[in-house]
Amino acid sequence: MDEVIRVEGLTKNFGQLQVLRGIDCSVKSSEVVCVIGPSGSGKSTFLRCLNGLEEASGGRVLVHGVSVHDNSTDVDALRSEIGMVFQRFNLFPHMTVLDNITLAPTKVRGVALEQAREQARALLIKVGLLDKIDAYPNQLSGGQQQRVAIARALAMQPAIMLFDEPTSALDPEMVGEVLSVMQTLAEEGMTMMVVSHEMGFARRVANRVLFMDEGVLVEEGTPEEVFDHPREERTRRFLSSVL
Amino acid sequence: MEPILWFGWFRADIIAEYGVMFWRGLQMTILVTVICIVQGTALGLAIGLARLADARHSPARQICRYLLRWPSTVYVSFFRGTPLFVQILLIHFAVLPLFINPADGLLISGETARSLKQNYGAFISGILALTLNSGAYISEIFRAGIQSIDRGQIEASRSLGLSFARTMYHVVLPQAFRRMLPPLGNNAIALLKDSSLISAIGLAELAYTARTVAGAYSRYWEPYLSISLMYWTLTLGLAWAVKRLEARYGRGDTR
């Protein structure tokens, strides 16, 4: 299996505060990796470094062998290969659902509008929201907005999808619909990296679980290894507080 | 012409006699306002973006700071910090002669300069002063509008691979524009009214016409009340137009 992302010695400081203290890991094609850990442990910052939303302070991130934080890298081209789903959805409120999905393919990839719309319809069927195609984001529930956001990211046919706490801003009854879309994606072989507090999802869907605390990767392994037989004391303490 | 009295005191015949002059004055006021709204908005956008310019790495970082942010900040501060009336006088009597001057104009000299100054001097100075002034105010509207857009919108757009420029054009500015419409409308109305100050340098717009008529008859109610009603009608029209635009760009609003 080929490597989609490789992270080497990644550090990140916000002023004096060291948020990431040297992270090494890699994600292979079709792998689903869940990142868990207490709030403030640097999970989101880590994810945001992967597509260059955050500058790295040290170390490097390679996506398909291309260094994300190099000045010479065409970061726009790189990002079009990396889908990202945010905690707060971040749909464009002045555009319909359809326009939200077709914007990037038409403007970045130069896909013909009709073709982009055809693809958008297919994606909306996939996330179960074809009837909302002409709605504006504020007319949708949180769960529906997040599913549209997933469709929007998928429209670029990315090599990997990053999910930054995709269900944290949702009412409890809407968490399931988003997670089931994500599970379908995983089963279709999408490469995914998911920062989440949904332990059930991590256990069910992930190939690998990373436990992060205070800016370091404390432990990693299969869901069974991490959840049932954690080696580290910190992991045990975290799991006993959330499970 | 026989005096025509309305309500026993309003000499309507004076207004009728100068009807053509009022009509031309009204056209001039509208022309100046429209030109300055268009130019001021373009200038305001450019200055507003310059005030927000920043980059992560040198030398772009230094260029943004010293060549874009500082000059634009000084510019806005000057034009907001001095009276428009003084700016009009300064530009008409000091700046313009420097560039357009029969003897040694930096831009235009000789006979062309003489006739240009004679025929269009007040028009050029007036438009220049009003554009520069409103550009400073509008740039603040743009800056606030752009800064009011949630960072997540920019991050989502950049994550999809859209460049900074495309993100501005497709995502940030349309949303910011919607929020900027009410202050932009206020600014347009202020601009319309402020155009009357250009009468001080002899541009034949509405206020100038009223002054001329008042001087000829030593009557003040008739000309000044008349142009007041014309300004009022125009500002009402502008306010209505802004409202229409708000409704049009309001799609996707929360309420």
pLDDT digits 0-9 by tens, A12-29: 999 999 999 999 999 999
Nearest to B153 among A82, A90, A152 (CB): A90
> Around B84, how many Cα atoms within 13 Å sit in the side-chain half-sphere?
22
- For the entire predicted model, the pTM comes to 0.85
Nearest-CA distance from B32 to chain A in Å? 33
- Bridge partners (DSSP) of residue A85 are A163
Q: For residue B154, give the chain A residue with the closest CA.
A: A90
Q: State the pLDDT at residue B105.
A: 82
Alpha-carbon distance of A227 to A219, in angstroms, equals 11
Domain ranges in chain B? 22-247
Q: Are B205 and B198 in contact (CB under 8 A)?
A: yes
Q: What share of chain A has pLDDT > 70, as a percent?
A: 100
Q: State the pLDDT at residue B88.
A: 97
Contact B252 A91 (CB under 8 A): no
Q: Give the model's confidence band at A242: pLDDT under 50 very low, under 70 low, under 90 confident, else very high.
A: confident
Asked whether residue B253 carries a pLDDT value surpassing 80, the answer given is: no
Q: State the pLDDT at residue B103.
A: 85
Q: Are A210 and A217 in contact (CB under 8 A)?
A: yes
Contact A103 B160 (CB under 8 A): yes
The amino acid that residue B135 corresponds to is G
pLDDT digits (tens, 9 = 90+) for B112-139: 888 888 889 999 999 999 999 999 999 9
Nearest-CA distance from A37 to chain B in Å? 23
CATH of domain B22-247: 1.10.3720.10
Q: State the pLDDT at residue A90.
A: 97
DSSP SS3 for B130: helix
Q: Note whether A135 contacts B: Cβ–Cβ < 8 A.
A: no
Q: What share of chain B has pLDDT > 70, as a percent?
A: 98
* CB < 8 Å to B178, chain A: 94
Nearest to B162 among A86, A93, A107 (CB): A107
Long-range contacts of A182-186 (CB under 8 A, 24+ apart): A182/A150, A184/A126, A185/A150, A185/A154, A185/A161, A186/A32
* CB < 8 Å to B251, chain A: 94, 136
Q: State the pLDDT at residue B255.
A: 40
Report the pLDDT averaged over residues A102-114: 96
Question: Which range has the worst mean pLDDT, A94-108, A158-172, B209-223, B237-251?
Answer: B237-251
Q: Give the model's confidence band at B1: pLDDT under 50 very low, under 70 low, under 90 confident, else very high.
A: low
pLDDT digits (tens, 9 = 90+) for A196-226: 999 999 999 999 999 999 999 999 999 999 9
Which residues does B contribute to its contact with A (CB < 8 Å)? 56-57, 150, 152-153, 155-163, 166, 170-171, 174-175, 178, 249, 251-254
Report the pLDDT averaged over residues B226-231: 96
Q: Phi first, then psi: give them for residue A156, nearest 5 degrees.
A: -85, 5
pLDDT digits (tens, 9 = 90+) for A32-57: 999 999 998 999 999 999 999 999 99
pLDDT digits (tens, 9 = 90+) for B38-82: 999 999 999 999 999 888 777 888 889 899 999 999 999 999 999
Number of Cβ pairs < 8 A linking chain A and chain B:
74
Q: Note whether A234 contacts B: Cβ–Cβ < 8 A.
A: no
